Structure 1
Amino acid sequence: MKKLLAITILLISNLCFSQLKSVIINSETKEKIQYVNIWVENENIGTTSNEKGEFKLEINVTKTILFSAIGFETKKISSDLIKETLELKPLTTKLDEVIISSKKTTQELIIGEFKKSKINHYFGCGIKPWITARFFKYNDEYEKTQFLKKIRILTKSDVKDSKFNIRLYGVSENGEPENYIYDQNIIGIAKKGKKTTEIDISELNIEFPENGFFIAIEWLIIENNKYEYKYTMEGSRKKLDGTSYEPAIGTLPAETDENSWIFNQGKWRKIWKNAGTSKKYKDKYSLMAIELTLTN
């Protein structure tokens, strides 16, 4: 089926017998926290809290559960200790890379340009959340246009107005995403179909860090993003039920994996090499189609 051929999806295989149910709140303000990504550590099982901070997660035995949300400390807890409410502690780290100042826009520079018509390969999401990140290296030519203005992403959605989260990370000593350069959710909304989705971040006044930074796309396992479809396996006529969480994110073929990372099972790791895809992408690494507009 076209959907299976065109989209790389993290495959899920699990047996579930019991259900966790809780509401996630801020430990200080007691406000509910939406869009928290939740994983069973070292397994392909997970979900996302909804707009009311609620989540449900099915597991078969006691597991370690990992909770990750922008602006909060990552939390690991045994599943048998999760009660009706679960608290996350706000981060107190100073965001040195965020520069707040008044500025008058007179110059712009676009990096990472792509052609929508040339892209037919995507990252997609099955029934568990995951994050993929692209690294943008600093260049001396950015000195005169040091502020981040717009992010443009190639999206393909089978549902109307699917939501995804954008995380902005710094870079660790070993080159992986680490620490936020902006500590709030940046929600993108993808219209139905193949679109170039634009997110204006000019009001955030974020300066391009001199050691580079990551733009990370986080899929949200929420009802609004759910898409159910039928498909058949090669060599069989039997129709099977499939579920994805939209949108899919367009990718470009890259010769190396140095700028692409994924976060799943609670860990960052390098992107995998493509196999069994079109000639253009075969034996290449997938790099998200992201265009960045810089300004002064």
Structure 2
Amino acid sequence: MKKLPAIIVLLISNFCFSQLKSVIIDSETKEKIPYVNIWVENENIGTTSNENGEFELEIDDTKIILFSAIGFETKKISSDSIKNILELKPLITELDEIIINSKKSSQELTIGEFKKSKINTYFACGKQPWISAKFFAYNEKYERTPYLKKLRILTNSDVKNSKFNIRLYGVNVNGEPENYIYNENIIGIAKKGKKTTEIDLSELNIEFPNKGFFVAIEWLIIEENKHEYNYTMEGSRKKLIGTSYEPAIGTVPTETNENSWRLNQGKWRKAWKNNNKAMRKYRNKYNQLAIELTLTN
């Protein structure tokens, strides 16, 4: 009889927690979809599908799960409806007539410059698949160098060759990131340590939209990005184990959050003010991603 309470607790635990496990595929081609952003609606619980489209997610009770991937319609589904295979529907986009001009690449213009030596604050990711975005407004002077050539991003990684995804968004009437201006993943590789990671966009033939656009960094909750570390709580000597998913992205302090947005719990929100008293340079300011964009003709 003394074992009965333990059995009851075990049964309750099994009822309260469930492990979602599935493979995400293209509903038309049946190909597996890597690096899908997965969130529990309105909660700080999420993950990312791996290179083979596979994911696992532990939840309590029945939840609404959001699936977001570049080039596919966002899907919202109840967790009790998720089976071994989950399909996402490709986005149908109507493209304007495109006139292809040969690029001379004789001129370049860099915007959003940062100094690596001046930055020591980073935006890091825990166990949820954050997306953080920086807006680049259009300027008439960009007409001379209208093509996106490369991105330079300040990264700091505790693991070798950590991966992150670049999403390029347009902007909606509320100033939020919406609709992709490029419908495929752009994977960045961050070497270990504090580095300036460069991403070549020159072969994509993307012109700077006249309404401006967002460069968004998506953290990937995949095994090769996982970093475990020891830490202690204030007032305690007990060592605890923390988990982060690399890389961290450098930030610069700004007076406004107009150009800085973050996606969590499946929703876009403006970046919040930094209240960390230990960081005098950033105190009561907003953290904007350290991203440089080079344009060419």
Please indicate, yes or no, whether the TM-score normalized by the shorter chain is above 0.5.
yes
User: In the alignment, is the contact (CA less than 8 A) between 1:23 and 1:32 conserved in 2?
Assistant: yes
2:129 pairs with 1:145: no
Cα distance between partner residues in 1 of 2:102 and 2:216: 27
Q: How far 1:43 moved relative to its partner?
A: 0.2
Secondary structure in structure 2 of the residue aligned to 1:203: helix
- In structure 1, the partner of 2:175 is 175
Paired with 2:111 and 2:193, the residues of 1 have a C-alpha distance of: 24
Deviations 1:2-39 (CA, angstroms, capped at 9, x unpaired):
xxxxxxxxxxxxxx721000000000000000000100
- For residues 252-286 of structure 1, the C-alpha deviation after alignment (integer angstroms, 9 at most, x for no partner) is 00000100000010100100000124110000001
In structure 2, the residue matched to 1:254 is 254
Shift of 1:80: 0.1
Residues 240 and 32 of structure 1: CA distance in aligned 2, closer, same or farther (over 3 Å): same
Tell me the alpha carbon deviations over residues 58-115 of structure 1, each in whole angstroms, 9 at most, x when there is no partner: 0010000000000000000000000000000000113559874421211000111111
Find the aligned partners of 2:279 and 2:157 in 1 and give their Cα distance: 21
> Runs ≥4 in structure 1, deviation > 2 angstroms?
94-102
Aligned with 2:244: secondary structure?
strand
Q: Residues 98 and 166 of structure 1: is their aligned pair in 2 closer, same or farther, counting only changes over 3 Å?
A: farther
Aligned to 2:220: 220
Question: Displacement, 1:237?
Answer: 1.1
Residues 1:293 and 1:239: Cα distance change in structure 2 (over 3 Å): same
Give 5+ residue unaligned stretches, structure 1: 1-15
Q: Deviations over 1:124-182 (max 9, x none)?
A: 00011010000000111111001000000000000000000000000000100010000
Question: Match of 2:34?
Answer: 34
Q: CA deviation at 1:217?
A: 0.2
Q: Say yes or no: does 1:164 pair with 2:168.
A: no
Q: Which position in structure 2 is the counterpart of 1:287? A: 288
- 3-state SS of 1:197 partner: strand
TM-score normalized by the length of structure 2:
0.93
SS at match of 2:174: coil
Q: Any gaps of 5 or more consecutive residues in structure 2? A: 1-15
Measured on the aligned residues, the alpha-carbon RMSD in Å equals: 1.2
TM-score between both structures, scaled by the size of structure 1: 0.93
Please say if residues 99 and 207 of structure 1, whose CA atoms lie closer than 8 Å, have aligned partners that are also in contact. no
SS at match of 1:117: helix
Seq. identity, %: 79
